[in-house]
Chain A
Amino acid sequence: GQNIDQPTEMTATEGAIVQINCTYQTSGFNGLFWYQQHAGEAPTFLSYNVLDGLEEKGRFSSFLSRSKGYSYLLLKELQMKDSASYLCAALDSNYQLIWGAGTKLIIKP
């Protein structure tokens, strides 16, 4: 079956760095997305990786290892507004998005 695993909840301190991991098992693979979702709002796009390696975009970076079925989202210089759920989603061979349950990130002052 197809499966996405990511931690349910993480806590970090303002100004620090946090890494949110995601492992996936899908029928074929056409890329991995990270989305940010604040409570009561729709998700917003953060990153897309289809090749191995690290993609950096400001304070956020995303890493992919296709051979390991593994990705992480790295958030630097954490701000209180980064408190949100972070959703990992993999695109399978039919270009269907398989969603993880999301990681709730709590930022403490």
Chain B
Amino acid sequence: GAVVSQHPSWVICKSGTSVKIECRSLDFQATTMFWYRQFPKQSLMLMATSNEGSKATYEQGVEKDKFLINHASLTLSTLTVTSAHPEDSSFYICSANTGAETGELFFGEGSRLTVL
């Protein structure tokens, strides 16, 4: 199946700093990528839909100035958590689909962010 790679897998940062997470589709072009956040023992929460060459579409309640998304190419989307605070600590996961009819999503490995 299609491969989505996410980097870094783990990141620890100080409060007030910014962290960038990359999501790459390795063997297919992804016009659309999705960014999720997952708290322990909870399901995935869609944060935003990232569209190549245009602005991301954010879900209600997600601060677009806090979580900057850039989808500069058909194989790369980035999520930057700006001025991170401890409450931003979470598991962030990206996904993409190949455009096939099934709409199957392929997920990155996830990035665990800990803000001290």
Contacts and interface: CB of A to CB of B under 8 A. Distances in A.
A42 B93 contact: yes
B43 A45 contact: no
A71 B34 CA distance: 24
Interface size range on A against B: 20 to 34
Given A87-B43, A99-B43, A99-B44, A42 B103 contact: no
A43 B44 contact: yes
A50 B108 CA distance: 25
Contacts, number: 46
A45 B1 contact: yes
Contacts of A40: 91, 110, 112
A43 B107 contact: yes
Nearest to A43: B107
A42 B107 contact: yes
B43 A97 contact: no
A48 B102 contact: yes
A97 B106 CA distance: 13
B68 interface: no
Interface string B77-116: 0000000000000010100000000111111111010000
Chain A CB within 10 A, most for which of B43, B103, B112: B43
22 contacts: A30-B103, A31-B103, A40-B91, A42-B6, A42-B93, A43-B44, A44-B107, A45-B104, A45-B105, A48-B102, A48-B103, A50-B102, A87-B44, A91-B103, A95-B103, A97-B34, A97-B46, A97-B105, A99-B43, A99-B45, A101-B42, A101-B43
Interface of B: 1, 6, 34, 41-46, 91, 93, 102-110, 112
